[in-house]
Chains A and B, each alone.
Chain A
Amino acid sequence: MAKLTFKTDKCKGCGLCVDACPKGLIKLANDKINQKGYHPAAITDESACVGCAACAMMCPDCIIKVER
């Protein structure tokens, strides 16, 4: 069980974290738009996350904080 915090306002919706997650847990939130006008990344099932931080390492804008 890990905790992911997204700085949603800084997300540019590039989707690199979506591909990086080995469990496929991250999706771009198509029902939300942040202040930059992008669909921000969000985690779908936090209980399944092991906190490997692959998404955070791939994020070009450093918006993901991972706690475990």
Chain B
Amino acid sequence: MAVVFDKPHALTDVPMHYCPGCTHGIVHRLVAEVIDELGIEGKTIGIAPVGCSVFAYNYFNCDMIEAAHGRAPAVATGVKRSDPENHVVFTYQGDGDLASIGMAETVHAAARNENITIIFINNAIYGMTGGQMAPTSLPGQVTQTSPYGRDTKHCGFPIKVCEMLSELEGPEYLERVTVSNVKNIVKAKKAIKKAFQNQIDGKGFSLVEVVSTCPTNWGMTPQNALKWLEENMLPYYPLGVYKDRSAKEETK
């Protein structure tokens, strides 16, 4: 019998601390599968964020560094520039980390077309701190700090990171994917692989935004959370490639 599917080597045996049904685990696995397929485990350095995925350094077999809140792209810049030929550097960040406190680092790393890969998990809520409103929370979304729903008069509108960065000259590749079902997981893996390949080819800043769930803080079962994601998140955060400079230049 041939093994069709098993845990990738780049993922450790440590049981993940995530809540049942949290899609962080799926994205961790996709990143690990890509590291395995590209054969870069020995030279990959991951930057863990602050947030639910703060313990990401326990789950990946490659070297990991823990950054201060939101500063992962800055740390990644330093690591990558110290030895650009021999390192593959990726950050793994949530929406509270990347789109709130770390927005400046994200935008400037993109503007500089820094040759790093960013995996951005957007679940429209602060997970680790107990479900507060995030910059990406949807209008009308009920959270701990918006019990009557996000009121755009007081709290403004959610930030669409891919759309925003796509206006910059800098970034090489921006794509938004989701992991709501098997088909979307296959597409997400393809996007993550491309983001890593771009870095190996020296093309520059690649960001993959993964629209994810937070069953615990949304107050839903994992199944209902995936349904809610497809019905509410995806209309606001449309999937697709927002920037792919090399592909655009090839077609010219």
Contacts and interface: CB of A to CB of B under 8 A. Distances in A.
Nearest to B18: A60
Interface residues of A, number: 26
B46 to A, nearest CB: 17
B182 A16 contact: no
Contacts of B29: 60, 62
B21 A60 contact: yes
Contact of B15 (A2, A10, A14, A68): A10
Interface of B: 1-8, 11, 15-16, 18-26, 29, 181-182, 185-186, 215, 221-223, 226
A61 B16 CA distance: 7
Contacts of A53: 4-5
Nearest to B221: A15
B185 A60 contact: no
A54 B185 CA distance: 10
A54 B179 CA distance: 12
Nearest to A54: B182
B121 to A, nearest CB: 12
Interface of A: 2-3, 10, 12-16, 19-20, 38, 51, 53-54, 56-62, 64-68
B17 to A, nearest CB: 10
B4 A51 contact: yes
B25 A60 contact: yes
Contact of B24 (A38, A58, A60): A60
A12 B3 contact: no
Contacts of A20: 181-182
Given A14-B20, A16-B226, 18 more contacts: A12-B20, A12-B21, A14-B215, A14-B222, A16-B222, A38-B20, A56-B4, A56-B5, A57-B182, A60-B16, A60-B22, A60-B26, A60-B29, A61-B16, A62-B7, A62-B25, A66-B5, A66-B6
B223 A19 contact: yes
Contact of B185 (A51, A58, A68): A58
Given A13-B20, A60-B25, A61-B25, A67 B222 contact: no
